[in-house]
Amino acid sequence: MNVANLLQRAKLGDTEAIATLMTQALTAQGVTAQAKLRQGCLEVVLSAPHPPDQRSCLHIIRQGLTRLEVPSIRTVKVYALKSGEAFPEWMEVFSMDAPADVRATPSRPAVPPRRMSEIQDRVFKSGSPLNLTSDEVDVPLETYAEELLRRYAKGIRDFTGVKLIQVSLIDAVLDEIILQDADLSRAVLRRIQMAGAILKNANFAGANLIEANLTEADLTGANLGCMKLGGQAVNNLVGAAVPISTNLKKATLLRANLTHADLTRAALEEACFDQANLTGAILTRVNAKLCSFVQCTFNKADLSWGTFDGANFTGANLSRTNLKRANLVGADLSQANLWYADLTEANLTRANLSRANLTGAKLVGTQMPDGRTMMDKRYMS
C-alpha cells in the first residue's frame, strides 16, 4: 500500500492504517504498534525488545494524530510493553480535544491555559489536580508524577489519599513517604525506593513494582492484588490474562508490615520478604517461586493454591496458615512453625522439613517429601 492510500485510510479512522503509520514513525526504537478504537478512545499498544521510551513515543504519537485530525478519536490510551511480556512498562492517557478554556472564540481572544490549582503544604487535598482518575485525560500523567517528585524534593512527605492511577514513577526515590489510603493502581513503579514508607490501605492493584525497595514499609491492609486491565480492546490486543496481577518480582520487602494485606495472584518470584509480618494476609494463587520468607510471620494467613517452588521459609511462623493445595516443591521449611496449619493436598515433594513443627497440622492428601501421600482415613477401609 502506498503512503497516500495509507494516510487516507488513517484520516478516515482505519486503526490498522493508524497503527502502521505509528510503527513506521517509531522504527528507530524498534517499536511495533497495534491500535483499536473503542467508544471514541484509541487504545494503542506499543511493543519492543526494550521498554519503549515514554517521552519520545508520546510526542510522536500525539503529533501524528494531531496531523491526521480523525474526528472519531477523542482520547488516546497508550500501553507500552517489552516484547514477550503482558504487563505494561508504562501507560499514558491524553485527550485529542483542546481544553474548553483554551479554545478561541470569534468574539474574544483565546484564554491562556489555566494554572494547576495550588496544593496545600502537607497533603494533597481532595479535588486537587493530583486527585487523578483514569477518566481525567486533559493533563498527561507524567505531569502529576513530576509534581509529586517536586513536592517531595521540597521536603513534603505526607501525600495521604492521593490518586495517581497509572502514573509512572520508575526509579523514583521516595523513602519514608506517606501514601496512606492512596490509589496507585496500575502504576508503573519499577525499582522505586520507598523504604520506611507509610502505605497503609494503599491501593497498588495491578501495579508494576519489579525490583522495588519497600524495606520496613508499613503496608497494613494494602491492596497488592489483581485487577482487570481496562478496555476489552486492550485485552484483545495484548492477549492479557484477566485479572492482571501486581508485579513484585525481585522486590525487597525486608521487615515490611503486610498485616491483612491482599496479595491475591501477585507475582512474587525471587522477592525478599525476610522477617516481614504477613499476619492474616491473603496470598492465594500467588507465584512466589524462589521467594525468600525467612523468619516471616504468616499466622492465620491464606496461602492456598499458591506456587512456592524453591521458596525459603526457614524459621517462618506458619501457624494456623491455610496452605491448601499449595505447591511447595523443593521449599525450605526447616525450623518453620506449622502448628495446626492446613496442608490439605499440598505438594511438599523434596521440601526440607527438618526441625519443622507439624503439631496438629492437617495432612490430608498431602504429598510428603519422601513421596508418600497422606490419605484421609475416612476413605480407608
State the average pLDDT over residues 304-333.
Answer: 97
- Report the pLDDT averaged over residues 160-171: 86
In a domain? residue 54: yes
Supply 54's cell numbers. Answer: 515514554
* Residue 345 forms part of a structural domain: no
Q: Is the pLDDT of residue 231 over 80?
A: no
| Contact assessment for residue 336 and residue 357, using Cβ atoms and an 8 Å cutoff | yes
CA dist., res. 127 & res. 163, Å (int): 10
Confidence of residue 165 (pLDDT cuts 50, 70, 90): confident
φ and ψ at residue 57, rounded to 5 degrees: -65, -45
| Residue type present at position 349 | T
| Number of other residues whose CB lies within 10 A of the CB of residue 369 | 17
Residue reference for cell 524459621: 315
Question: Does residue 30 lie within any of the structural domains?
Answer: yes
Q: Is the pLDDT of residue 229 over 50?
A: yes
Is 7 part of a structural domain of the chain?
yes
Provide the number of structural domains found in the chain.
1
State residue 164's pLDDT score: 86
Q: What are phi and psi for residue 32, nearest 5 degrees?
A: -110, 130
Residue 209: per-residue pLDDT: 93
Which region holds residue 72: left if phi is over 0, alpha if psi is between -120 and 50, else beta? alpha
Is position 41 within any domain? yes
Q: Work out the pLDDT band at 112, boundaries 50, 70, 90.
A: very low
In a domain, 57, yes or no: yes
The percent of residues in the chain predicted with pLDDT above 70, rounded, is 81
Does residue 26 register a pLDDT over 60? yes
C-alpha torsion 130→192→56→70, nearest 10: -40
Output the pTM of the full model.
0.70
Q: pLDDT per residue over 140-150, tens digit each?
A: 556 678 888 98
Residues 6+ apart with CB under 8 A from 148: 130, 159, 162, 164, 167, 169
Q: Which of 71, 70, 87, 88 is nearest to 79 (CA)?
A: 88
Residue 258's contacts (CB-CB under 8 Å, 6 or more residues apart) are 219, 220, 222, 224, 273, 276, 277, 278, 281
pLDDT at 116: 36
Q: How far apart are CA 142 and CA 129, in angstroms?
A: 12
Q: Of 51-60, 158-167, 231-240, 253-262, where does mean pLDDT reach its minimum?
A: 231-240
Least confident of 70-84, 129-143, 182-196, 260-274: 129-143
Examine the pLDDT at 65 and tell me if it is beyond 60.
Answer: yes
* Percent of the chain whose pLDDT exceeds 90: 56
- CATH number of the structural domain spanning residue 22: 3.30.70
Does a structural domain hold residue 34?
yes
115 pLDDT above the threshold of 70: no
Stretch 319-342: mean pLDDT: 97
Domain enclosing residue 80, as ranges: 3-98
Does 73 fall in a domain?
Answer: yes
Cα 90 to Cα 208: distance, rounded to the nearest angstrom: 9
- State residue 103's pLDDT score: 35
Q: For residue 375, what pLDDT band results from cuts at 50, 70 and 90?
A: low
Q: In the prediction, which pLDDT does 141 show?
A: 57
Q: Going by C-beta distance under 8 Å and a sequence separation of 6 or more, which residues neighbour residue 62?
A: 76, 94
Task: Give the number of other CB atoms < 10 A from CB of residue 143.
Answer: 14
Separation in Å, CA 113 to CA 104, 116, 141: 11, 9, 17
Whether residue 368 has pLDDT greater than 80: yes
